[in-house]
Structure 1
C-alpha cells in the first residue's frame, strides 16, 4: 500500500513539475507571439512598398522591351524604304526583289489602312525602278552600229543582257495587276508603268531593226539601176526574206521579254510598223525606177514580182496575222509592180512593131538591135516564168496586142496549165512579129542581095539562140507551131539568100547549045556575077558569129555552084575549044571553090591567101583594082 502511495505521490510531483514547465513555455510563446505581432506590424508597410516597386519595375521592363521592338521595326522599314527609293543596285537585285515581294505580301494579305497605302505607293515606286532597269537593258541591246558588210547578217540580242533580262521579266510578270489583284492599291499604277515599258521596248526594237535593214534596202534600190534585172529582183527577194526573218526573231524575243503577261499582238504591231514603212518606201523607190524606164527595167519588174510573190504567205503570217493588222504592204507593193508588168507586154510588142516601120534608111546586113533585144528578152523568160504566167493571166489572152488580132483562146484563172498556154501564145506572137518585122526590113533594102543577107543573119541568130543552142530553157516554153515558125522562116530566108546571090550564077550555066560564042558570053557573065557576089560578101558577112552555120552554108553553096561550073566547063571548054575559051575562064573550079569558101571561112591562112589571090585577079580583070 505504502509503495503505491509513494508512487502516486511521485507521479503528482512529476505532474506538477510538467505543469510548471508548460506554464513557463506558454508564457515564453506568448511573449514570442507578442513580439512577432509587433514585428509584423513594423515590417508590413515595408513589404507593401516593395511589392509596388517590383510591379513597377516589371512594367518598366516590359515597356522598354516594347520600345526597343518598335524602334527596331521602324529602322527596318526605313532601311527597306531607302532601298526601294534608291532602286536596285549591282549585286542587290535579288535582295531588292525579296524586299518588294515582302512588302507586296504585307499589302495583299492585310486590310488596307493608311500605313498599307503608303506601303502600296512604295511597291509602285519599286516597280517603276525595276522597269527603268528593264528599259535600260533593252536600250543597251538595241543600240550601237549594225554590221554593214555586203551581205546582211542577223544580229542576235546580246546573250549577257538577255541573261539579265529574263529573271527580271519573270519577276515583273508577278507584280499585282488589276486583272489579278483588283483590290490592290498599287495594281493600276504598276500596270500603267509596265505598259509604258512594253511600248518603249517596241519602239526601241523596231528602230533597231530598221537601222539594221535600211542600208541594205537602199543598196537594193541603188544597185537596181545598174544590175541585171533578174539579179536585182533576187536581191530584193533576199532582202524581204531577211526582213521577215528579223520580224520572226523579234516576235519570239517579244514573247520572252515583254514585261506584261498575256498576248503581244498590239505591241508586235507597234514593233513592226517601222519595218513595214521601210518596205513600203523601198518598193515605192523601185516602182518609180521601173516606171521611169519600163523598157529598161522590164525584168526587174518581173523578177521583183516573182520574188515578192514567193514571200506572200510568210508576210501574211508574220506581218499581218500575228500583229493583228489589216494593212498588207506586200500585197499593195505587188499590185503596183504587177501593173508595170502588165504594161510591159504590150509595150514590148509595140517596140517590135515600131522597129519594123523604119525611116527609109538602110539597115545594113548585120544583126539589128530589136532582134538582139528580142533574143535577150526570150532568154530571160524561164527565170521569171511564174511572174510572166501570173501577169498574163491577169492581162488576158491576146490583150498584149492592145486590141489587135483575134484571141487564140480563153485561159482560165488558176491552173498552171493555163498559165503555160498563155505564155506559149505570147511568145508565139513575139517571135511571129519579130520575124515579120525582119522580113519587112529586108524587103525595104534597095539591094536584094544585102536584104537577103540581113534576113538570114538575123533569123539564123534568132533560131540558133532560141532553138539550136539556147543559153536557157526557152525551148521548153515554146509551142511546136512556134518552133516550126522559126525553122520554116529560116529555111525560107536561106533559100532567098541563095536565090538573090547565087541563082544568077547558076542561070548563066544553063545548057542552051548555042555554040562557042554563047559559051564565051556565059563564062564572062558568070565571072562578072561572081565578082559582084565576091564584092557583096566582102561588104556583108554572113553568119559572122556562127562558125558552124557558116560552114554549113559554105558547103551548100559550093555543092550548088562548083559542080555546075565544073560540068559546064567540061562540056564547053574541052579539047580544042579550051584554048579559045581559056581567056574567058578567069578561074579554075578549085579557085572558085576557094573564093567561095573565103566568103565564109577564114580560119586557114593558106585558104585565105589562095582565095584572096583568086579574088584579086578576078577584080583586076574586071577593072576594080586591088584592095
Structure 2
C-alpha cells in the first residue's frame, strides 16, 4: 500500500506541475495572441499600401512593355517604308514583294496601326517601282543590234530576263485592282501604273520587231530589182511568213509576261504592239507596188509571184491579227488588192507589147526575135505562178485581156471561180496567136522575102519546139486549139520558106507539056536553074535555118530534096532524049546526086 500511495503522490505532484505549466503556457499564448492582434492592427495599413504599390508596379511594367513594342513597331515601319521607297533590286525581289504583301494584308484585315491612306500611298509607290523594274527588263530585252544574216533571223527574248520577269509579273498580277478589290484605296492607281507599263511593253516590243524585220523587208525590195521575178516574189512571201512567225511568237510572249491578263487588255496591248510592224508591212508593199508599176513589163512575174506567195497567208493573218487584236483593218487584204490590180493590167499589156514589137522592124534578120524568146520565158514563168494567174484571170474576165478586141476562143457561159485552167488556156491561145501575127508582120516587112521567110520559120519553129514538147511542163498550159494553131503556123511558115527560096528552082525546070521546048530554051532553063541554085547556096551560107531544131531541120531537108531533085531528074531525062547540046556538061553543071549533096549542105 505504501508503494501505491507513494506512486499516487508522485502522480499528483506531476499533475500539479503539468497544470502549472499549462496555465503558464496558456497565459503566454494569450499574451502572444493579444500582441499579434496589436501587430495585425499595426501592419494592416502597410499591407494595404504595399498592394497598391505592387499593382502600380505591374501597370508600369506592362506600360513599359507596350512602349517597347510600339518603339520596335515604329522602327520596323520606318525600315519597311525606306525599303519600299528605295525600290526593288533583282537579287532581293522577294523581300520587296513580302513587304508589299504585309502592307496589303494590313489594309485588308485592318491590323495596321498606320493610317490606311499612308499605307495605300506606300503600296502605290511600291507598285510603281515594280512596274519600272518590269519596264527596265523589257527594255533590256528589246534593244541592241538585230541579226542580219543571209536569211531572216530574230534574236529571241533573253532567257535570263524571262526568268527574272516571271516572278515579278506573277506578283504584279496579284496586286489589288478595282475589278478584284473595289474597296482597296490604291487599286485604281495600281491599275493605272500597270496599264502604263503594259503600253510601254507594247511600244518597245513592237518597235524592236519592226527593227528586226525592216532589214529583210528592205533587202527583199533591193533583190526585186536584180533577181528573176518569180524568185523575188517568193522572197517577199518568205518575208511575210517571217513577219507572221514573229507576231505569233510575240503573242505567246505577251500572254506570258504582261501583268494585265483580261481579254480587253490583252487585245489592246497586242494591237498596240502590232502597229509598228503593220506600218512597216504597209510601207514595204507600197514601195513594192510602186516599183512594179514603174516597169510592169519587167516586173510582171514579181507581181504575180508576190501575189501568189502572200495570198496563202490570209487565213493565218486572220487568226493571228484580226481575231486576237480585234482589228477591223486588214493590211494584207489591202496589199493583195493593190498587187492584184497590177497583175490584172499585166495581161493586156503583155499582149500590147507583143503587138508593138512588130512595128517599125525593117532590118534583115533570121535570128530569134526578142519577143519570141521572152514569150517562151513568159509561158514558163506562168507555170510557176499558175494559181495567181488563174485567180487574176477570173477577176479580169474571159477575153478582157484583149482590151475590147473580142474573144477568139469559143465560150459557153461566163467563166468564174473553178474555171482557172480554162481561162489560162484561153489566154495562152491569144498570146500564141498574137506572137505569130507579130512574127508574120515582121517577116513581111523584111526587104527580101527569102530572108523574111527564114526569120518566120525559125521563130515559129522555136515556139513549136519549146511549147509543144511533151517533156516540157509548159505544154500543160496549151489547149488543143493552141497546139493546132502552132502547128498550122509552122506549116504556113514552111510553105512561105519554100515559096521564097526553093520554088524558083522548081519553076526554072517546069515545062508546059503542051508547048514545044527548043534547044535554046532548054539551055536557058538549065542555066537559070544552076544560077538560082548558086544564089540559094550563097543565101543559105549567110543564114541558118532551124539551127536549134535538129529534128525539124532534118525533116525540112528531106522535103527540099523531094521537091527539087525529082524535078531535076525529070528535066535532065528529057534533055538527054532531045540531045539539046553537043557539050551537055557545059550546061548540066551538077548531077542530081551532086545537087542533093549541095542542098543538104545548105543546112
Calculate the TM-score normalised by the size of structure 1.
0.88
Alignment of 1:431 with 2:432, yes or no, is yes
Cα–Cα, structure 1 residues 99 and 297, in superposed 2: closer, same or farther, change >3 Å?
same
Equivalent residue of 1:155, what SS? coil
> 1:319, 1:198 → 2: CA distance?
19
Cα–Cα, structure 1 residues 579 and 590, in superposed 2: closer, same or farther, change >3 Å?
farther
1:320 maps to which residue? 322
Cα–Cα, structure 1 residues 72 and 250, in superposed 2: closer, same or farther, change >3 Å?
same
1:612 maps to which residue? none
1:604 maps to which residue? none
Mapped contact 2:90–2:164 kept (Cα < 8 A)? no
Deviation (angstroms), 1:527: 0.8
Cα–Cα, structure 1 residues 312 and 6, in superposed 2: closer, same or farther, change >3 Å?
closer
Cα–Cα, structure 1 residues 14 and 453, in superposed 2: closer, same or farther, change >3 Å?
closer
Equivalent residue of 1:197, what SS? helix
Cα–Cα, structure 1 residues 12 and 496, in superposed 2: closer, same or farther, change >3 Å?
closer
> 1:279, 1:13 → 2: CA distance?
139
> 1:294, 1:456 → 2: CA distance?
30
Cα–Cα, structure 1 residues 307 and 265, in superposed 2: closer, same or farther, change >3 Å?
same
1:558 maps to which residue? 561
Equivalent residue of 2:152, what SS? coil
Mapped contact 1:443–1:451 kept (Cα < 8 A)? yes
Question: Gaps (5+ residues) in structure 1?
Answer: 601-627
1:292 maps to which residue? 294
1:609 maps to which residue? none
> 1:470, 1:411 → 2: CA distance?
33
Equivalent residue of 1:147, what SS? coil
> 1:238, 1:568 → 2: CA distance?
72
Deviation (angstroms), 1:522: 2.2
2:64 maps to which residue? 64
Alignment of 1:272 with 2:301, yes or no, is no
2:125 maps to which residue? 125
Equivalent residue of 2:243, what SS? helix
1:385 maps to which residue? 386
Deviation (angstroms), 1:457: 1.2
Q: Residues 525-604 of structure 1: matches in 2 within 5 Å?
A: 525-573=528-576, 580-600=583-603
Cα–Cα, structure 1 residues 4 and 257, in superposed 2: closer, same or farther, change >3 Å?
closer
Cα–Cα, structure 1 residues 9 and 209, in superposed 2: closer, same or farther, change >3 Å?
closer
1:329 maps to which residue? 331
> 1:25, 1:499 → 2: CA distance?
181
Deviation (angstroms), 1:432: 1.1
2:446 maps to which residue? 445
Equivalent residue of 2:475, what SS? helix
> 2:360, 2:467 → 1: CA distance?
29
Could you say what the CA RMSD is over the residues aligned between the two structures, in angstroms? 2.8
Deviation (angstroms), 1:216: 0.7
Q: Bigger CA drift: 591-600 or 378-387?
A: 591-600
Cα–Cα, structure 1 residues 414 and 314, in superposed 2: closer, same or farther, change >3 Å?
farther
> 1:239, 1:411 → 2: CA distance?
40
Deviation (angstroms), 1:36: 2.9
Q: Bigger CA drift: 371-380 or 162-171?
A: 371-380
Cα–Cα, structure 1 residues 205 and 226, in superposed 2: closer, same or farther, change >3 Å?
same
Question: Gaps (5+ residues) in structure 2?
Answer: none
Count of residues in correspondence between the two structures: 597
* Residue deviations 1:587-623 (CA, integer Å, cap 9, x gap): 34444334323321xxxxxxxxxxxxxxxxxxxxxxx
Q: Residues 184-333 of structure 1: matches in 2 within 5 Å?
A: 184-263=184-263, 264-333=266-335
1:368 maps to which residue? 369
Deviation (angstroms), 1:191: 0.8
Cα–Cα, structure 1 residues 38 and 529, in superposed 2: closer, same or farther, change >3 Å?
same
* Residue deviations 1:549-573 (CA, integer Å, cap 9, x gap): 3333223323332344345445535
Deviation (angstroms), 1:151: 0.6
> 1:294, 1:272 → 2: CA distance?
32
Deviation (angstroms), 1:447: 2.2
* Residue deviations 1:38-68 (CA, integer Å, cap 9, x gap): 4444444544443333333222222222222
> 2:10, 2:132 → 1: CA distance?
116
Q: Residues 454-473 of structure 1: matches in 2 within 5 Å?
A: 454-468=455-469, 473=473
Q: Residues 403-414 of structure 1: matches in 2 within 5 Å?
A: 403-406=404-407, 408-409=410-411, 414=416
